[in-house]
Chains A and B, each alone.
Chain A
Amino acid sequence: MQPTQHNIAPEVLRAWMVKYICGVLGLDAATFSTSDRFDVYGLDSVEAVIMAGVMEEEFQVLVDPNQFFEYPSVDEFVNAFTSQASVG
């Protein structure tokens, strides 16, 4: 799938993901570590793909769910997703 053009700022995407994940899993955003792998705090593969869908609605972009398997942490994903905008 081709990456889509977007201009979502990394800090906006990061904050959204932290809020989403903490909301779904009932975690405390204040102590949440964005460098941990998703599965460390209990975001399993199905939940990660669901998040990819909600993200599409929220930001009106195409999100390839496979990217969550390639970049399995908030930091890695945000980095990959926001840097593809410039090449896309």
Chain B
Amino acid sequence: MEFENFQSIVQLISVHARHHGSRDAIIFLERGELESERISYRDLDAQTDRIAAGLLEAGLAGKPIMIALPAGSAFIAAFLGCLRVGAVAIPAPIPDTDRSIGRIAAILSDAQPAAILTDEASALRLAKIDAPARIVVFDELSASVAAGAMPAADPGRHAFVQYTSGSTRAPKGIVITHGNLIANQEMIRAAFEQDSGIVCVSWLPHFHDMGLFGSILQPLFNGGTAVIMSPRAFIQKPLRWLRAIDKYHGTIAGGPSFGYELCTRMISPEEAPALDLSSWRVAFCGAEPVRAAVLAKFAERFRPAKFRHTSLVPCYGLAETTLIASSVAPGTGVSQKDVVVRGANASRRSFVSCGWAVAGSSIVLRDENGGVHESGEAIGEICIGGPHVSPGHWDASHRSVSPFENVFLNAGKQYLPTGDIGAFVDGELFPIDRISDIIILFGANIHATDIEATVLDDSGSTDIRSAVAFAVDDGNREKLVVLCELDRQAFRASDQGAMAERLRKRIAEVHGVVPLVGFVLYGALPRTSSGKIQRSASKRMLLSDQAPMIKVDAETEIAISKLRSIAESDATHPAQYCS
């Protein structure tokens, strides 16, 4: 099939429905075990049509619409229905915890959708937010006439807005066009060598880019099957994910390193051999730093289940490139090289290859002097150009796009800087670190500014003059660290234990992660000439032996010294070089 001829994924799914309507499109596993939904292409197309007709009749065609529905076929039909009538879909979590309700409220205020498409249970909760948008219950959406002919999709038309990477205080939506979506689906298909035999088994959040585009739309794009369970079902028992891969002969499944780590931690060597994972050809890993040690342990644990380590496919991407930006070729496995990272604390560390820019796109590295490197050996900010790059942020007041300001031209092509640092070794991309201040924990993005604001806004911590938050890699996952500056008097006070306790509690309540908290004297944190605290320099300071006096409790002391010894052993790794 010639995918290039389709300008919208909705058209493509209709074609699949006509050609092989009875094939399974979506299988949903309740609790990750019980098959509660099995939806064919014909059913999915009909459901999409019903939603599209309902949206038309409700006067919502062409308008921005938030979708807050649980994982399952309703969400997917709602998403496709929006695309079909030219509405701009805004996927959101369901309002089932204080945190997700806060998240929805922040997205609502930035996106200003005309309506929220949701279910009955969520509608009651959303009513309490006092949203300035019309609440439309999915099951009540109906129309007296069919949606009729599909409007010709203009590839430049806005398909949806992704709120996956924005700060929670001031979230920013990334606009993705129909053209972006189709281009990136084709890139994923080519990079992962997929075809209509694809069976993708996913536990990833269905409203996030990797869950929605990588694990649901990609199988639908190819005419294959998406097997879905909720993240909580997976985390509760990671064995459910692997059992589903076994049962449905999954060909592709993946997620952040965290998911692989959890499988190794929770599934015993005695349980592993009962599984048959031989159908799993692409085990992609991305979204947070790819951890070679975690993947090696996973491959070792599940070797008796016929899992091949060469199925592991490290990749790199971000919301601004719809999803994928680079990947190794399937069958290669995880490869590492040592890279000398220059700067204040030059160190040599081992990094995982994320392969090459996906077909039809290009990646360049821009060094600190502004030099642009297209290949060879280099270090710099990863910048991406291609038809999958979003045109900019959502501008709710004009219901339009506000272009990225930092886009630049190189050799006649536009590139978007990502805020991530990477190295080229023989032109192969090795992501190194983020300069953007996003902390990725358990696969979720948390902005450093949000954590710092929580600390500074806390009414019980008025002695804190300033604070800095950053993540430190402990070898398995990232650990959140918060350093607070105190005035001399407060710093001298014998015990900050109660304050640390209070902050840990507060941050856990608001952000869902428990940090290490330390205190330093006011002025001890590294600052720019304009007085702004530097997060990456603060992190280097904590990990170096030149750190100033940091007051912490005994447990935190142990945790920090552990992080230091890991950072040190990484830096003295034997080596191949690259500058």
A interface, CB within 8 angstroms of B = 1, 26, 37, 39-40, 42-46, 49-50, 52-53, 56, 62-63, 65-66, 69
B interface, CB within 8 angstroms of A = 30-31, 96-97, 232-233, 235-237, 262, 266, 442, 501, 504-505, 508-509, 512-514, 555
Q: CA separation between A46 and B99, bound complex, in Å?
A: 14
B443: nearest chain-A partner, CB-CB: A46
Interchain CB contact (< 8 A) of A65 among B236, B262, B501: B236
Known: A40-B508, A44-B514, A69-B96. 4 other contacts (CB 8 A): A40-B501, A49-B236, A56-B236, A69-B97
Interface centre among A39, A40, A63, A69, by most B CB within 10 Å? A39
A50: nearest chain-B partner, CB-CB: B235
Show 10 residue pairs from A and B whose CB-CB distance is below 8 angstroms, ordered by the A residue: A1-B30, A37-B505, A37-B509, A40-B504, A49-B232, A50-B236, A50-B262, A52-B236, A56-B236, A63-B236
Given the contacts A45-B512, A66-B96, A39 and B235 also touching, CB distance less than 8 Å: no
Contact B31 A49 (CB under 8 A): no
Q: CA separation between A73 and B262, bound complex, in Å?
A: 23
Contact A53 B508 (CB under 8 A): no
**A41–chain B nearest beta-carbon distance, Å:** 9
Contact A46 B505 (CB under 8 A): no
Q: CA separation between A65 and B231, bound complex, in Å?
A: 11
Contact B508 A39 (CB under 8 A): yes
Interchain CB contact (< 8 A) of B512 among A1, A44, A63: A44
Contact A53 B514 (CB under 8 A): no
Please indicate the chain B residues that have their CB under 8 angstroms from the CB of A44 in the complex. 508, 512-514
Q: CA separation between A59 and B398, bound complex, in Å?
A: 56
Q: CA separation between A65 and B229, bound complex, in Å?
A: 14
Query: Chain B: interface secondary structure?
Result: helix
Please indicate the chain A residues that have their CB under 8 angstroms from the CB of B237 in the complex. 53, 56
Q: CA separation between A66 and B230, bound complex, in Å?
A: 12
Please indicate the chain A residues that have their CB under 8 angstroms from the CB of B31 in the complex. 1, 62
Q: CA separation between A1 and B509, bound complex, in Å?
A: 26
Please indicate the chain B residues that have their CB under 8 angstroms from the CB of A45 in the complex. 97, 512
A51: nearest chain-B partner, CB-CB: B236
B233: nearest chain-A partner, CB-CB: A65
Please indicate the chain B residues that have their CB under 8 angstroms from the CB of A50 in the complex. 235-236, 262, 266
**A28–chain B nearest beta-carbon distance, Å:** 12
Report the 3 A-B pairs with minimum CB-CB distance, sorted nearest first: A39-B508, A53-B236, A42-B514
**A33–chain B nearest beta-carbon distance, Å:** 12
A40: nearest chain-B partner, CB-CB: B505
Q: CA separation between A44 and B477, bound complex, in Å?
A: 14
Q: CA separation between A61 and B84, bound complex, in Å?
A: 43
A62: nearest chain-B partner, CB-CB: B31
Q: CA separation between A65 and B305, bound complex, in Å?
A: 28
Q: CA separation between A46 and B237, bound complex, in Å?
A: 11
**B255–chain A nearest beta-carbon distance, Å:** 13
Q: CA separation between A42 and B501, bound complex, in Å?
A: 10
Please indicate the chain B residues that have their CB under 8 angstroms from the CB of A40 in the complex. 501, 504-505, 508
Please indicate the chain B residues that have their CB under 8 angstroms from the CB of A43 in the complex. 514
Q: CA separation between A40 and B508, bound complex, in Å?
A: 8
Please indicate the chain A residues that have their CB under 8 angstroms from the CB of B30 in the complex. 1
Q: CA separation between A42 and B97, bound complex, in Å?
A: 18
Contact B235 A49 (CB under 8 A): yes
Please indicate the chain A residues that have their CB under 8 angstroms from the CB of B509 in the complex. 37, 39
Q: CA separation between A65 and B31, bound complex, in Å?
A: 10
Please indicate the chain B residues that have their CB under 8 angstroms from the CB of A1 in the complex. 30-31
Q: CA separation between A43 and B513, bound complex, in Å?
A: 8
Given the contacts A1-B31, A50-B266, A69-B96, A42 and B236 also touching, CB distance less than 8 Å: no
A57: nearest chain-B partner, CB-CB: B237
Interface centre among B236, B262, B512, by most A CB within 10 Å? B236
Contact A46 B504 (CB under 8 A): no
B34: nearest chain-A partner, CB-CB: A1
Please indicate the chain B residues that have their CB under 8 angstroms from the CB of A39 in the complex. 505, 508-509, 512, 514
**B129–chain A nearest beta-carbon distance, Å:** 17
B97: nearest chain-A partner, CB-CB: A69
**A51–chain B nearest beta-carbon distance, Å:** 9
Contact A42 B508 (CB under 8 A): yes
Please indicate the chain B residues that have their CB under 8 angstroms from the CB of A66 in the complex. 96, 232
Interchain CB contact (< 8 A) of B504 among A42, A52, A53, A56: A42
Please indicate the chain A residues that have their CB under 8 angstroms from the CB of B508 in the complex. 39-40, 42, 44
B240: nearest chain-A partner, CB-CB: A53
Please indicate the chain A residues that have their CB under 8 angstroms from the CB of B504 in the complex. 40, 42
Please indicate the chain A residues that have their CB under 8 angstroms from the CB of B505 in the complex. 37, 39-40
Interface centre among B509, B512, B514, by most A CB within 10 Å? B514
Contact A46 B235 (CB under 8 A): yes
Contact A46 B514 (CB under 8 A): no
Please indicate the chain B residues that have their CB under 8 angstroms from the CB of A53 in the complex. 235-237, 266
Given the contacts A39-B508, A42-B504, A44-B508, A65 and B235 also touching, CB distance less than 8 Å: yes
Please indicate the chain B residues that have their CB under 8 angstroms from the CB of A56 in the complex. 236-237
A46: nearest chain-B partner, CB-CB: B442
Q: CA separation between A63 and B31, bound complex, in Å?
A: 10
Q: CA separation between A49 and B512, bound complex, in Å?
A: 12
Q: CA separation between A44 and B235, bound complex, in Å?
A: 13
Q: CA separation between A5 and B439, bound complex, in Å?
A: 42
